[in-house]
């Protein structure tokens, strides 16, 4: 076969792929190379009528297909909803297990080596998915400066408001993907939280508007970047620093719970650091109103942070957030989530059935106070009704001895010295604390395919509430 013939055949295959992806809506999955064998249907499987497919979390959306480096999984999407369950890994932990006690210990020791060497293999996980109301704005009022985040719904930009030069973060949410994932009501909930909250540790929104294919949230720009980035750089935090961060997040969660809102996506990637060293909880795309006595049923969150009741699909309430706070505290102090395993099904089994393991202060060089161990253990109680905070809420949480040294009133007024102040230049457009993979991304917005626009046009009345 001539080289020209080969090229023609390749072009023909690519054209067919394009046709199937965008016209026939053929599902395309992205799976890391080492895991391909787990999703390969053998002849024996076929004879037994067994079809092995990747989890729905690996189903690629059109936004993913145009990413230059999606296959490297350096910034993969991992928030999971009814249609999205991710199997990608964040990195090794102390609790990887196998079938025998000896192999459990061997695997524990191998992870110990990573801890002692300070080598973190954590990978960021991205989830799928105006106060001045008298002043109307649209996309023409803002100049895009940099991309500072990316997800399945679209991108997050650093923008400048042309009339006054103020810097904001602008989240672009694709309408077709909201429709596809049944997330319109969730986006409306996110809008209400961002617009109405006055809590010191929650991101706030100044404007919301829409175009024919996207909805835009314009929020305060938090210059210090993601907590994930700083944790990844430092490998792990000293316990005092983890405590300072944890109580801010837990107070924010308590504030939401008192309004009957369950957050459902606590993780370092959704927490930003301000220039004063204080935290801001962001991204309320999975938040849901759940009143006392009610249970939510959506399978959603980030795999390493899922509570057992979500995995079992038994219905869940505010207690899932306290579980996730336990995971967060552990990850900040140790450097890895406590139940991580490279096999997602094994990880879910760990979450459901196995107790949390703590590092040995001598062997692993990671000291942890008895109070911290007790708090984590009571937050990671498998039975949600026995979990710390289930009955007593945030008041029960902050009464725990681990928080004894924190003056909550001074914290809320930001009168305590932060343990870390991010390095920033005098330029308000400094993005040095954000991932370079994002900030070096082209500013061009993604194109909604024809089928997606048809769905948007048919259901566009559902987006009326997004006008400022």
- Distance CA(136)–CA(149), nearest Å, equals 25
Active site residues: 265
pLDDT at 89: 39
Q: Which residue blocks in 335-449 are alpha helix, DSSP H?
A: 344-353, 370-379, 393-398, 408-412, 436-439
Q: Is 127 in contact with 78 (CB distance < 8 Å)?
A: yes
Q: Is 227 in contact with 280 (CB distance < 8 Å)?
A: no
3-state class of 217 per DSSP? strand
Domain boundaries for CATH 3.30.200.20 within the chain = 127-223+426-466
The model carries a pTM of 0.75
Q: Is 271 in contact with 226 (CB distance < 8 Å)?
A: yes
Helix (H) or strand (E) holding 324: helix 319-334
For residue 170, list its beta bridge partners.
Answer: 157, 218
DSSP string, 25-66: ----B---GGGGGGG---HHHHHTT------GGGBPPHHHHT
Arch. (CATH architecture) of 227-412:
Orthogonal Bundle (1.10)
Residues of the chain with pLDDT > 70: what percent?
70
Domain boundaries for CATH 1.10.510.10 within the chain = 227-412
Sites in the chain below the pLDDT cut of 50: 22, 33-34, 57, 61-78, 82-111, 113-114, 116-121, 124-133
pLDDT at 289: 94
Strand ranges for 84-141 from DSSP E: 124-127
Tokens of 417: 């010295």
Residue 388 exposure: Cα atoms within 13 Å on the Cβ side: 21
Shortest CA distance to 111 belongs to which of 334, 376, 384, 268? Answer: 334
Residue holding tokens 């999971």?
80
Q: Is 359 in contact with 334 (CB distance < 8 Å)?
A: yes
- Distance CA(184)–CA(177), nearest Å, equals 9
Tokens of 275: 């220039």
CATH superfamily of this structure's domain 127-223+426-466: Phosphorylase Kinase; domain 1 (3.30.200.20)
- DSSP single-letter state for residue 357: P
Model confidence pLDDT, tens digit, residues 264-312: 999 999 999 999 999 999 999 899 999 999 999 989 899 999 999 999 9
């Amino acid at each position: 076969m001539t080289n020209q013939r080969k090229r023609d055949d390749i072009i023909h295959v690519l054209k067919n792929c394009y046709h199937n992806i965008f016209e026939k809506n053929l599902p395309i999955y992205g799976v890391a190379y080492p895991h391909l064998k787990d999703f390969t249907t053998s002849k024996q499987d076929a004879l037994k009528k067994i079809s092995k497919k990747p989890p729905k979390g690996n189903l690629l959306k059109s936004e993913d297909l145009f990413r230059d480096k999606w296959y490297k999984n350096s910034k993969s999407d991992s928030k999971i909803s009814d249609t999205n369950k991710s199997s990608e890994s964040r990195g090794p932990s102390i609790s990887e297990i196998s079938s025998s006690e000896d192999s459990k210990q061997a695997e524990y020791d191998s992870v110990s080596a990573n801890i002692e060497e300070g080598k973190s293999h954590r990978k960021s996980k991205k989830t799928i998915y105006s106060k001045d109301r008298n002043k109307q704005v649209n996309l023409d009022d803002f100049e895009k400066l940099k991309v500072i985040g990316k997800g399945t719904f679209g991108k997050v930009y650093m923008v400048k408001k042309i009339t006054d030069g103020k810097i904001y973060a602008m989240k672009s949410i694709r309408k077709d993907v909201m429709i596809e994932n049944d997330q319109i009501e969730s986006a409306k909930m996110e809008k209400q939280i961002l617009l109405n909250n006055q809590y010191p540790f929650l991101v706030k929104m100044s404007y919301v508007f829409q175009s024919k294919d996207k909805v835009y949230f314009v929020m305060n720009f938090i210059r210090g970047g993601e907590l994930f980035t700083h944790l990844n750089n430092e490998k792990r935090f000293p316990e005092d620093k983890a405590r300072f961060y944890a109580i801010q997040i837990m107070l924010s969660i308590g504030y939401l719970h008192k309004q009957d809102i369950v957050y459902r996506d606590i993780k370092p990637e959704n927490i930003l650091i301000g220039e004063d060293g204080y935290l801001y909880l962001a991204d309320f795309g999975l938040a849901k109103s759940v009143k006392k006595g009610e249970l939510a049923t959506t399978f959603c969150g980030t795999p390493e942070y899922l509570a057992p009741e979500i995995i079992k699909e038994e219905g869940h309430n505010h207690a899932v957030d306290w579980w996730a706070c336990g995971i967060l505290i552990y990850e900040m102090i140790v450097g890895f989530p406590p139940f991580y395993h490279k096999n997602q099904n094994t990880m879910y089994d760990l979450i459901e059935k196995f107790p949390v393991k703590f590092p040995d202060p001598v062997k692993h060089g990671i000291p942890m106070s008895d109070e911290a161990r007790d708090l984590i253990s009571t937050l990671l109680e498998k039975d949600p009704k026995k979990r710390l905070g289930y009955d007593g809420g945030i008041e029960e949480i902050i009464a725990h001895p681990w928080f004894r040294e924190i003056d909550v009133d001074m914290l809320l007024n930001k009168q305590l010295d932060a343990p870390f102040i991010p390095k920033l230049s005098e330029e308000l457009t400094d993005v040095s604390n954000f991932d370079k993979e994002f900030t070096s991304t082209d500013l061009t917005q993604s194109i909604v395919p024809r089928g997606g626009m048809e769905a948007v046009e048919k259901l566009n009345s559902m987006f009326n509430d997004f006008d400022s």
